[in-house]
Amino acid sequence: MKLASLKHPDATRGNATQGRDGRLVVVSNDLAWYADASHIAPTLQAALDDWDRLSIDLKNLSTDLEHEMIPMRRFHEHDAESPLPRAYQWADGSAYVNHVALVRQARAAEMPDSFWHDPLMYQGGSDGFLGPRDPIPLADEAWGCDMEGEVVVVTGDVPLGASRDEALAAILLVGLTNDVSLRNLIPGELGKGFGFFQSKPASAFSPVFVTPDALGDWWKDGKLHRKLMVDLNGQPLGRAEAGEDMTFDFGTLVAHAAKTRKLGAGTIVGSGTVSNRGPDGGPGKSVAEGGVGYSCLAEVRTIETIQGGKPVTPFLKKGDTVRIWAEDDKRHPIFGVIEQTVE
Amino acid sequence: MKLASLKHPDATRGNATQGRDGRLVVVSNDLAWYADASHIAPTLQAALDDWDRLSIDLKNLSTDLEHEMIPMRRFHEHDAESPLPRAYQWADGSAYVNHVALVRQARAAEMPDSFWHDPLMYQGGSDGFLGPRDPIPLADEAWGCDMEGEVVVVTGDVPLGASRDEALAAILLVGLTNDVSLRNLIPGELGKGFGFFQSKPASAFSPVFVTPDALGDWWKDGKLHRKLMVDLNGQPLGRAEAGEDMTFDFGTLVAHAAKTRKLGAGTIVGSGTVSNRGPDGGPGKSVAEGGVGYSCLAEVRTIETIQGGKPVTPFLKKGDTVRIWAEDDKRHPIFGVIEQTVE
């Protein structure tokens, strides 16, 4: 089953609550059609709040849509909000430890060995996300705006102290994100010791979130086994395999988040920037050089720094366009496409 | 106007979405009575989402309640959830820099001078809060469970890059929190560089949130000018003046949060642990010694460490009870009372 939230027409005409959360629709597997689902649950959050009961009706609707048995309309990704236009929790891990090690290496910061055993995770802002085709608002290019291509999952309720298996069972949806980061604000902010705040503005999510069962073999061992496609200004930047080099699977990440408190339904947990090592174990090559490339500019700049002493590739500037997606075997996007231009 | 969210009877009978967010009521100024407000907005979040329109109706209801012109029922704080039982954002500052300086001094960590000019703030978990009379679930006493008595504000929508004045104008409600902290997990977690996550389990908020206009002179210059009362097991622990030694007022804190992204309606911003210096500028005395005491145990232990080489007061144990409130001139609680026992 694939779910999306359409931009709500009431958003500009007074019914502010519903407008803020979009309108829930079920989307066909090929992303060509949708059926309204608001008679089952007005919003995706409402569906997640009562998933055991409502997901049955949603799955029936999804089946009817695939069989073209119900009224359906063309699905346009431009009309979609992020599936959760705002959420009660956005917890982002750093599961591709390779990425962390590289970034630290470039700024000559030591990475403790514990990072290979104990997941790194930060509490992200979740009060408002960008739509998948919305521009990235950037007030100051000097902040060093970067994309981060990641895989995300959405959970139901997760009990306090959940095991990895309990956490895996609580994963209801899978999607992608562009976790926008302001790189030049990070060192100062992390130096203060309280983690990210100003350096992590609103993220955008893929137009469609997908249930794990609909992913078949692509969802295995708590990982998405597809390439994460990242383009910058029409050129391939990243083709990293999301199922490889992920040190902590999503079950481990969700269990980490639930160690000292239960998690509420609709919690989004991120993988951190998808990153593969090179075949020799070192930093991978760019796509132009025949490698799988990178899912963020910080990693490009890191490798430039390691190899040439300083970064060459600039951070995002006004007018730059980022595309993030994953494909099925016929090269159709699975989750739709995140496509954002910096403004 | 005073607002609360009653525990929703549907929480245990299937209507999961409404049950999770409680039922909005308007509470009388003396906290003795309430009037149902769910015909205006089912939940406090719904009211905040459309505040310009709905707050007019809520204020009329509040006036009618004070004049006993409408059906009203006894208000029992035990029946209340936190006013926002879950929220889209919980951003906690450290505005009483005195507290930060003391805690750092005790663990021999240097505090940069910039902390006096640039607010410290972390992104807290907001997917589920404890009710004001709910127990504090603690799986392991070795985690070092502590209370933190704080003042909080709830904002409407705040534009990206809001000035302090714009931020002040966006403050719609004022309340209190017990920001539960797991002290022994903090050093390891902050050492990883990504801020708090496991070390900050669910917080609890005062039964009632109050509009700034209803606070009169107690709300001035973006600060609450009342004593924050903190008791531990029936003994006074803290009587600090929330309006004093607050280096960053709430306008400055909210503007800090909005520097790189707009804030969604219903964002809760915290002051950090309320803390006063002693009359000589150094650490203050305990209430038993005639001082204003402390709003968390970490500060008690810090002062014990500075004075005697090691902390003596233990962190919270099972069965310990914490009370946090603020009083009007007749010693009636303004926001109701947070009273929680560790389980």
Task: Give tens-digit pLDDT for B109-123.
Answer: 788 888 999 999 999
Is A116 in contact with A94 (CB distance < 8 Å)? no
Q: Do A123 and B125 touch (CB under 8 A)?
A: yes
Window from A161-170, A304-313, B80-89, B97-106 with minimum mean pLDDT: B97-106
User: What pLDDT shows up at residue B192?
Assistant: 87
Residue bearing tokens 């500019």: A297
Confidence of residue A192 (pLDDT cuts 50, 70, 90): confident
Q: What is the mean pLDDT of residues A98-126?
A: 87
The interface predicted TM-score (ipTM) is 0.95
pTM, two decimal places: 0.96
Which residues from chain B sit within 8 angstroms of residue A12, using beta carbons?
Answer: none
User: What pLDDT shows up at residue A18?
Assistant: 55
Q: What is the mean pLDDT of residues A180-202?
A: 93
Question: SS3 for A97?
Answer: helix
Window from A33-42, A108-117, A124-133 with minimum mean pLDDT: A108-117
Q: Do B120 and A264 touch (CB under 8 A)?
A: no
A181, closest residue in chain B (CA to CA): B260
Cα of B171 vs its chain's centroid, Å: 14
A38 Cα to chain B: minimum distance (Å):
14
DSSP code, position A115: G
A268, closest residue in chain B (CA to CA): B127
B13: pLDDT strictly greater than 80? no
Q: Report the distance separating Cα B94 and Cα B271, nearest Å.
A: 6
Which residues from chain B sit within 8 angstroms of residue A202, using beta carbons?
Answer: 261-262
User: What pLDDT shows up at residue A11?
Assistant: 54
User: What pLDDT shows up at residue B28?
Assistant: 98
Average pLDDT for chain A: 94
Q: What is the mean pLDDT of residues B1-15?
A: 75
Strand intervals (E) in chain B: 2-6, 23-27, 33-36, 73-74, 90-93, 121-124, 145-146, 149-155, 171-178, 181-182, 204-205, 209-210, 219-220, 223-224, 227-232, 235-241, 268-270, 321-325, 338-341
Higher pLDDT, A156 or A280: A156
CB pairs under 8 A between A and B: 153
User: What pLDDT shows up at residue B108?
Assistant: 79
Shortest CA distance to B322 belongs to which of B176, B184, B158, B161? Answer: B176
Q: Do B202 and A264 touch (CB under 8 A)?
A: no
Q: What is the mean pLDDT of residues B292-316?
A: 94
B14: pLDDT strictly greater than 60? no
Confidence of residue B11 (pLDDT cuts 50, 70, 90): low
User: What pLDDT shows up at residue A15?
Assistant: 46
User: What pLDDT shows up at residue B40?
Assistant: 98
A128 Cα to chain B: minimum distance (Å):
6
pLDDT cut 70: percent of chain A above it: 97
Average pLDDT for chain B: 94
Q: Report the distance separating Cα A64 and Cα A28, nearest Å.
A: 10
Q: Report the distance separating Cα A201 and Cα B45, nearest Å.
A: 22
Residue bearing tokens 């050129």: A235
Q: Report the distance separating Cα B184 and Cα A60, nearest Å.
A: 48
Closest Cβ opposite residue B17 in set A50, A86, A200: A50
In angstroms, what CA-CA distances link A74 with A34, A65, A66, A209?
6, 12, 13, 17
A164: pLDDT strictly greater than 90? yes
Residue A269 host element (H or E): strand A267-270
Q: Do B161 and A182 touch (CB under 8 A)?
A: no
Per-residue pLDDT tens for B319-337? Answer: 999 999 999 999 999 999 9
Which residues from chain A sit within 8 angstroms of residue B160, using beta carbons?
Answer: 137, 139
Per-residue pLDDT tens for B124-183? Answer: 999 999 999 999 999 999 999 999 999 999 999 999 999 999 999 999 999 999 999 999
Q: Report the distance separating Cα A137 and Cα A59, nearest Å.
A: 36
User: What pLDDT shows up at residue A272?
Assistant: 97
User: What pLDDT shows up at residue B76?
Assistant: 98
Q: What is the mean pLDDT of residues A208-231?
A: 98
